């Protein structure tokens, strides 16, 4: 776990240290049996410790913050409730339901401000645990007091308030069961103020950690899917985020090679399949690669793994006329947006393994299809696509092209020991097709709803999970305005990240040929979509290192310097004088 030098301290819980300092804590009262009294907040902290929670994001106040610190869980304060929630999200995204991001915010305004971060986690099916401060029991129904149980319905997986001290353990057991099982999503616990301050009776302190339970599709569905894949003329695999959450990336590679099926990754699923593999088609948001477009158009059988197949402007369309085999852990996903010819509800890794076993039984241990031929076709499609984009990726135009920045990332970073994410808008649409994802979570894609500024707190959460890796987010200047002060959080906490900021004094998604709904009359006369700033200086003022890049030749050295500084525990922002990029790999 990351600990910032001299800034992070957990005070010992003891009767007194003998030095007379005001940090001494009085001894806890005891019950008749000699066991210390424990109120609801302290019991929750103990349960979190039992569950292996190591840190908790927070802002600005919640009684749980001090309680977790007393049991050795590190609280990390962010600059806004939304950022605190998003950091918990980033931690969960790369932990594959083995560990969970935990966040605590205050009642009323805190619960209201947290909504944006929670909405992002809900849209992307991310399991996080959020504790909201609550009003006292007699104020819950008094207008305008905020109650999450009433107001959060419909955009969280589960929300529950604590109404009696006896139910604390039950609420927490249900919360962790929901985090581990079924469709992932945000789980909310509302801490009713006066109730959680009361003692939890010893008889009610019986928390047992719930286990993860996985299921396999019915054998008939596996057999039908295997037959369809073996009979396909041009199969492809559509890999979603569920491949990684299930720990199924190695099984996915084995299946792709067995049936000679190239693999396309959704934006949340990017890095589920190594993009250096000759069967890799790449990934897609609203933009994608040439090979992906070719197979999305021409394939006859598509196996969707660990995906909801939700239609979204931030994903690729599925063309009609295909046989669709759909695996998901949520039966409500089947036939929601796409008609499933074969549905397989179950854990993605177990589903893939069952498919492999079934196919090998049918073939006597032999592979299916002509793998070398398929790999040659993928290589040819990639060469054709890259012939168009190579001059852009390696160009020396100034202001600097987004694509030249992305190429510098590919050339400079150690892909297997880095975690990279985008931000909403033009940075996302530019980087998803072109950055080479390698190992699972080397790239973190997101965005069925697209909250500007998510990249900074997300990558802080990722750094908390993997302090040994270089963690970097790519964002525009518009996104910086939504979360830029959490650069200070990274610097203060010791979560040394690098932010690469494309500074073009504009919102590129709403400018030039891609101006969207903001017309020239608003942009030219009133300056809508125009903004200015020296973000390197702003970062310096918040305790980070600011680097300014104005020449393409400076990109590589700046990225190397950022890696060196991060390794020393210094947070870095690279402010790049960028163009207003309007080129996109769309089809």
* DSSP-assigned letters across all residues of 325-380: EEEES-GGGTTTSS--SEEEES-HHHHHHHHHHHHHHHHTS---S-HHHHHHHHHH
The whole-angstrom separation of Cα 36 and Cα 43 is: 11
Q: How many CB atoms lie within 10 A of CB 566?
A: 23
Q: Sign of the CA dihedral 497, 498, 502, 505?
A: positive
In sequence order, the 6+-apart residues with CB closer than 8 A to the CB of 43 are 168, 169, 200, 205, 207
The whole-angstrom separation of Cα 470 and Cα 474 is: 13
Q: Is the whole model's pTM more than 0.85, yes or no?
A: yes
* pLDDT exceeds 90 at position 255: yes
Structure tokens at 307: 């995906």
In terms of Cβ atoms closer than 10 Å to its own Cβ (0-12, 13-18, 19+), residue 138 is exposed
Percent of the chain with pLDDT over 70: 93
The whole-angstrom separation of Cα 527 and Cα 35 is: 66
| Chain segment 173-194, per-residue pLDDT in tens | 999 999 999 999 999 999 999 9
- Domains of the chain: which residue ranges? 40-204, 219-377, 394-577
Q: Which of 199, 169, 194 is nearest to 28 (CA)?
A: 199
Structure tokens at 86: 């998003």
Structure tokens at 542: 């918040």
| Confidence (pLDDT) at 32 | 44
The whole-angstrom separation of Cα 175 and Cα 155 is: 16
* pLDDT exceeds 70 at position 9: no
Q: Which residues of 394-423 are buried (b: 16+ CB within 10 A; e: fewer)?
A: eeeeeebbbbbbbbbbeebbebeebbbbbb
Element (H or E) spanning 119, and its range? Answer: helix 115-123
Please state the φ and ψ torsions of residue 476, each to the nearest 5 degrees.
Answer: -95, 175
The whole-angstrom separation of Cα 122 and Cα 20 is: 48
| Confidence (pLDDT) at 21 | 29
| Chain segment 189-238, per-residue pLDDT in tens | 999 999 999 999 999 999 999 999 999 999 999 999 999 999 999 999 99
Architecture of domain 40-204: 3-Layer(aba) Sandwich (3.40)
The whole-angstrom separation of Cα 93 and Cα 272 is: 13
Q: Which residues pair with 475 in a beta bridge?
A: 501
The CATH number of 394-577 is: 3.40.50.970
* pLDDT exceeds 60 at position 29: no
Percent of the chain with pLDDT over 90: 88
| Chain segment 360-398, per-residue pLDDT in tens | 999 999 999 999 999 999 999 999 999 999 999 999 999
Structure tokens at 345: 């509800």
| Chain segment 117-144, per-residue pLDDT in tens | 999 999 999 999 999 999 999 998 899 9
In sequence order, the 6+-apart residues with CB closer than 8 A to the CB of 44 are 64, 67, 131, 168, 172, 189, 191, 196
In sequence order, the 6+-apart residues with CB closer than 8 A to the CB of 424 are 447, 450, 451, 452, 453, 454, 479
* pLDDT exceeds 70 at position 527: yes
Cβ–Cβ under 8 Å, residues 110 and 103: no
Band (pLDDT 50/70/90 cuts) for residue 28 is very low
Please state the φ and ψ torsions of residue 565, each to the nearest 5 degrees.
Answer: -65, -40
Q: Which of these ranges, 16-25, 30-39, 94-103, has the smallest mean pLDDT?
A: 16-25
The whole-angstrom separation of Cα 55 and Cα 1 is: 8
Structure tokens at 440: 């699972």
Q: Sign of the CA dihedral 443, 448, 452, 453?
A: negative
DSSP strands (E only) in 511-557: 545-549
The CATH number of 219-377 is: 3.40.50.1220
The whole-angstrom separation of Cα 547 and Cα 537 is: 9
Structure tokens at 400: 């600097």
* pLDDT exceeds 70 at position 563: yes
């Amino acid at each position: 776990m990351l600990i910032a030098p001299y800034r992070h301290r957990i005070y010992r819980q003891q009767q007194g240290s003998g030095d007379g300092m005001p940090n001494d804590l009085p001894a806890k009262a005891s019950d008749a049996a000699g066991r210390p009294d424990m109120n609801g907040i302290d019991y929750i902290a103990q349960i979190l410790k039992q569950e292996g929670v190591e840190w908790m994001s927070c802002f600005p106040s919640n009684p749980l913050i001090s309680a977790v610190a007393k049991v050795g869980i590190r609280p990390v304060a962010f600059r806004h409730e939304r950022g605190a929630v998003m950091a918990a999200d980033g931690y969960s995204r790369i932990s594959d339901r083995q560990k969970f991001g935990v966040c605590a915010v205050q009642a009323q305004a805190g619960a209201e401000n947290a909504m944006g971060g929670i909405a992002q986690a809900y849209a992307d099916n991310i399991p996080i645990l959020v504790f909201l401060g609550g009003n006292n029991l007699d104020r819950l129904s008094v207008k305008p007091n905020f109650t999450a149980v009433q107001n959060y319905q419909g955009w969280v997986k589960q929300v529950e308030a604590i109404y009696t001290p006896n139910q604390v353990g039950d609420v927490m057991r249900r919360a962790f069961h929901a985090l581990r099982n079924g469709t992932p999503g945000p789980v909310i616990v509302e801490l009713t103020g006066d109730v959680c301050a009361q003692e939890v009776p010893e008889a009610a302190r019986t928390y047992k950690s719930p286990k993860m339970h996985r299921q396999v599709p019915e054998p008939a569905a596996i057999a039908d899917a295997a037959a369809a894949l073996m009979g396909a003329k041009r199969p492809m695999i559509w890999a979603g985020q569920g491949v990684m959450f299930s720990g199924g990336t190695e099984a996915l590679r084995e299946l792709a090679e067995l049936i000679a099926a190239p693999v396309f990754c959704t934006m949340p699923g990017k890095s589920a399949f190594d993009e250096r593999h000759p069967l890799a088609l790449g990934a897609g948001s609203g933009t994608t690669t040439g090979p992906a477009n070719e197979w999305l158009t021409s394939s006859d059988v598509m196996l969707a793994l660990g995906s909801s197949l939700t239609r979204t402007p931030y994903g690729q369309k599925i063309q009609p006329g295909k046989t669709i085999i759909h695996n998901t852990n949520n039966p409500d996903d089947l036939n929601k947006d796409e008609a499933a010819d074969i549905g397989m509800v179950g854990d993605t890794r177990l589903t893939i393994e069952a498919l492999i076993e079934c196919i090998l039984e049918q073939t006597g241990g032999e592979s299916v299809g002509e793998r070398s031929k398929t790999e040659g076709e993928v290589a040819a499609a990639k060469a054709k696509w890259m012939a168009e984009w190579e001059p852009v990726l390696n160009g020396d135009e100034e202001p600097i092209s987004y694509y030249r920045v992305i190429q510098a990332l590919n050339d400079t970073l150690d892909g297997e020991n880095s975690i990279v994410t985008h931000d909403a808008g033009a940075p996302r649409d530019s980087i998803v097709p072109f950055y080479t994802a390698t190992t699972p979570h080397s790239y973190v894609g997101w965005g069925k709803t697209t909250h500007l500024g998510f990249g900074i707190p997300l990558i802080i959460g990722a750094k908390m999970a993997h302090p040994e890796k270089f963690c970097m987010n790519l964002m525009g200047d518009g996104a910086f305005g939504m979360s830029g002060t959490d650069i200070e959080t990274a610097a203060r906490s010791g979560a040394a990240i690098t932010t690469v900021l494309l500074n073009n004094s504009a919102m590129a998604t709403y400018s030039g040929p891609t101006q969207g709904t903001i017309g020239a009359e608003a942009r030219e006369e009133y300056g809508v979509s125009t903004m200015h700033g020296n973000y390197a200086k702003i970062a310096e003022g918040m305790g980070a290192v600011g680097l300014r890049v104005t020449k393409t030749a400076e990109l590589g050295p700046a990225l190397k310097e950022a890696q060196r500084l991060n390794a020393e525990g210094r947070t870095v922002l690279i402010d790049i004088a960028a163009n207003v990029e309007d080129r996109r790999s769309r089809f």
